Structure 1
Amino acid sequence: MVAKIKSGKSLTGALNYNENKVKQGKAVLIAAAGYPKDPADLSFNDKLFRLTDLASMNQRSKTNTVHVSLNFPNGEYLTDETLRGIAGDYLEGIGFKTQPYLVYRHEDAGHPHIHIVTTNIKRDGERISLHYLGQNESEKSRKAIEIKYGLTKAEQQPKIKADFKAHIDLAEYGKAETKRTITNILGFTLRAYKFTSVPELNAVLQQYNIQADRGTKDSRMYARDGLVYWITDKQGNKLGVPIKASTIYGKPTLKTLEEKFRLNEQLRKPFKAAIIKILDEVLAKPQTKRSFQQALYDRGIRCFLRQNDEGCIYGATFIDQKNKVVFNGSDLGKAYSANLLSARFLPEPPYKAAGQQHDHDMLNDNANSQVTVGIDELMEVLFAPEQEDLAALNKFKKKKRKGLNL
């Protein structure tokens, strides 16, 4: 069994995530402990207010939401009764025995798993400490449960994880609720990819038919550091109405993104040299713009070249799909900036003109298919505090303090 804990500030957001899965037929509420009604009789407000009433007992604590996923290997079939027992034993083991909680069995991935939503605020207003909860109490509880229920041990699961597959659907306007679609895609991309600017983020989101938009530079939204998200078609045209960043679960506002930009500056550094090596190998041969993009695509790197109306390239962004890191060309070095790359490209042969659309479609084949990711990544995206992020952030803060002579 693999346990993942995510703490947060929005009980509504955590509950909405699971309830939306229920509406889609991808999850079922199997337990509601500490509630006066049976699970089937609970309304959304019944589920929410029981938790928010407790959270309101401690107004000083901003973190009041605990969202847990317990994951089991494929083939380990467990009944709802067993899953309820496991959920209860796990929460007791981490000190949440008296807390009300909701348990959802999810069926949206290739392996059995449940989600638990609860709060760390007790009836008397005392806060249950979440400090090192995942490393200490969770590990002890997890190991005890594996023995009690005869489950596959987490240490034995890496061999199994490679067979687990899940997918993130591309955004398709009108197919599902716009806000929910954008939230699901952002939930993955913001945690999985390491980018350092809005244009770099958009290079990632473009693969999923989503765009982050600050507005024009002379707009009020831009002046106030506003941010909205759009669903687009595969040509990048905006569709429907935008969704404000502040209304999305996790609040991916510009302020939040800028904090992530600084962190990602540190996290992506180890992968820079490998990308430069691949670029040098590809550029060792004469390339047209399209052959350059295709050669990189074959090596696992997506190259986005931004052009103006006259066809002049003014920006280049590279996405290492294996390591999920994003670099602007100029950040890799002057030789990989848009201007110098453009100067190196040979003209496109005339006889390829008719096939250009085919080449474009091939390079953007994700626009017509599902983007596949390992379930291990997806679990980390949705439920795991990234230890490497925290380590890098601490290192970054120490450097900053030293620079300030603190």
Structure 2
Amino acid sequence: MIAKITVGTSLYGALAYNGQKVNEGEGRLLAVNRIFDDGSGHVDIARAEQDFKRFMPEQVRTRNKVIHISLNPHPDDRLTDVELEQLAREYLDRLGYGDQPYLVFKHEDISRHHLHIVSVNVDEQGRRLNRDFIHRRSRRITSELEKKYGLHPADRRQHRTDNPLRPVDTSQGDVRRQVSNVVKAVMAGYRFQTMGEYRALLSLYNVTVEEAHGIVNGREYHGLVYFSLSFSNPSATGDAGNRTGTPFKASRIGKSVGYEAVQRRFEYSKEQIRDRRLAETTRRTVAAALARTYRREEFVALLKAKGVDVVFRHTDEGRIYGATFIDHRTGCVLNGSRLGREFSANALQEHFTLPYAGTPPIPFTIAVDGQQPDTRPAVEYDEGYSSGLGLLGGDTSGAQAEEAAFERDLRRRRKKRRKGQGL
């Protein structure tokens, strides 16, 4: 069982993120302590926030007063809701939070069900709880619980490459929820600067997006429509895929994946990639793979082994006219031309042309100024693994990124509201 611990300032953000999952049918409220629960299965987010605040003085010196914990059993541990609740309560008791107000949520929006716990770091006198060595203590507690209840021990090395986000499979039913899970997670967890890069990323998970423009009642509107795709292996073949099933308007999924949110994501990604020099990591990896082979299939395999997918686009004659690299380590999606002229579609087409197949690869040399990009995750957690902002690091890497995006959007809405009130 893997535990991930995040501390922060936004109580409402943590409650709204989990409460909306429950209210939209993507989770359940399993346990409460010192918080009102009407037993309806619905979460009154505003009431829960009030209840938490009743146990804290108005003036609290501790800045990071909110603690958000995710508990992730091994996928082979098939536990009932009663067993999951028991695990969560015992974990909190041993960690020193058993008497605190808390809510335990079960998330069911991905194949591996897992728990999220929201509580506070201060007692009723406003004193901060002991968080010394909390991650070390948490690891010891989860190990003891695994032994006590005969659970599979957590293999953290395996946890690194276990991807909880699955490609949409129309045969499994509930396609809207599958599409929703994909687009929310990739929007929160990756950086991309154009609709083409966003579309290439979605194609890895059998989803695509189209823009919708028009005029209604004399007013221009912009929207997005998402589709599920049917194809074999887009990263290897470059197949654009066939749209299947019912299209889903972004409004049916949520504002966080709508047209305006995607446009904001473009601007945010551009700043992040530029300021943190994130493209350098991908450029070096792609250059090293090109230096080793002229065979496209081997090139794709070499990149995948390093945590990078590539999506090719072809003309009807089979010529490469586009290539997009998706680096799961840094969460960056980059068209080949962004990496340099030698990685453009024309350069790659020439590189993979048969006359070159029998000759040794030409070494690529890239000037590096020695500065390494900062790829540390923005949230504060210790146990388990985070693949930057990617979705390859356990079942909450995407979820925690999604929560961070949720809180950023919440702050933007509050700021706009204050401006509108002249504050």
Could you tell me the TM-score, scaled by structure 1's length?
Answer: 0.59
CA contact (8 A) 1:296 1:303 kept: no
Residue of structure 1 equivalent to 2:333? 326
Aligned residue for 1:208, secondary structure, equals coil
Task: For 1:170-249, list aligned pairs within 5 A.
Answer: 170=168, 172=170, 175-176=173-174, 178=176, 180-190=177-187, 193=190, 195-213=192-210, 228-234=224-230, 235=241, 237=243, 239-244=246-251, 247-248=255-256
Aligned residue for 1:231, secondary structure, equals strand
Query: Aligned pair in 2 of structure 1 residues 379, 332: CA closer, same or farther (>3 Å)?
Result: same
Task: For 1:45-124, list aligned pairs within 5 A.
Answer: 45-46=43-44, 48-54=45-51, 67-73=68-74, 83-91=84-92, 93=95, 97-104=99-106, 109=111, 114-118=114-118, 120=120
Residue of structure 1 equivalent to 2:2? 2
CA contact (8 A) 1:102 1:118 kept: yes
CA contact (8 A) 2:167 2:206 kept: no
CA contact (8 A) 2:65 2:120 kept: yes
The answer to whether the aligner puts 1:13 opposite 2:24 as a matched pair is no
Q: Distance in 2 between matches of 1:108 and 1:344?
A: 40
Q: Distance in 2 between matches of 1:225 and 1:279?
A: 43
For residues 193-231 of structure 1, give each alpha carbon's deviation from its aligned partner in whole angstroms, at most 9, with x where no partner exists: 554544222211022233355556x999xx999663512
Q: Distance in 2 between matches of 1:253 and 1:203?
A: 14
The answer to whether the aligner puts 1:270 opposite 2:281 as a matched pair is yes
Equivalent AA in structure 1 for residue 32 of structure 2: A
* Pairwise CA distance, 1:249: 7.8
For residues 96-143 of structure 1, give each alpha carbon's deviation from its aligned partner in whole angstroms, at most 9, with x where no partner exists: 843241342769656xx64134365989998989xx97x953543453
CA contact (8 A) 1:185 1:208 kept: yes
Unmatched tracts of structure 2, length 5 or more: 231-240, 355-389, 404-423
Query: Aligned pair in 2 of structure 1 residues 123, 107: CA closer, same or farther (>3 Å)?
Result: same
Q: Distance in 2 between matches of 1:104 and 1:192?
A: 21
Q: Which moved more, 1:155-164 or 1:312-321?
A: 155-164
Aligned residue for 2:299, secondary structure, equals helix
Task: For 1:227-306, list aligned pairs within 5 A.
Answer: 228-234=224-230, 235=241, 237=243, 239-244=246-251, 247-248=255-256, 252-264=261-273, 266-283=277-294, 292=296, 294-299=297-302, 300=304, 301-305=309-313
Residue of structure 2 equivalent to 1:403? none
Residue of structure 2 equivalent to 1:395? none
Aligned length, in residue pairs: 336
Equivalent AA in structure 1 for residue 203 of structure 2: Q
Query: Aligned pair in 2 of structure 1 residues 185, 171: CA closer, same or farther (>3 Å)?
Result: farther
Q: Which moved more, 1:204-213 or 1:101-110?
A: 101-110
Query: Aligned pair in 2 of structure 1 residues 190, 45: CA closer, same or farther (>3 Å)?
Result: closer
Residue of structure 2 equivalent to 1:351? none
Name which of 136, 140, 147 aligns with 2:137: 140
Query: Aligned pair in 2 of structure 1 residues 99, 256: CA closer, same or farther (>3 Å)?
Result: farther
Residue of structure 2 equivalent to 1:168? 166
Aligned residue for 1:248, secondary structure, equals helix
Equivalent AA in structure 2 for residue 296 of structure 1: F
Q: Percent identity?
A: 19
* Pairwise CA distance, 1:243: 0.5
Equivalent AA in structure 2 for residue 99 of structure 1: P
Equivalent AA in structure 2 for residue 13 of structure 1: Y
Q: Which moved more, 1:323-332 or 1:166-175?
A: 166-175
Aligned residue for 2:101, secondary structure, equals coil
Aligned residue for 2:333, secondary structure, equals strand
Residue of structure 2 equivalent to 1:34? 34
Aligned residue for 2:250, secondary structure, equals strand
Name which of 319, 339, 342 aligns with 1:335: 342
Greater fraction helix: 1
Residue of structure 2 equivalent to 1:317? 324
Equivalent AA in structure 1 for residue 227 of structure 2: I
Equivalent AA in structure 2 for residue 189 of structure 1: V
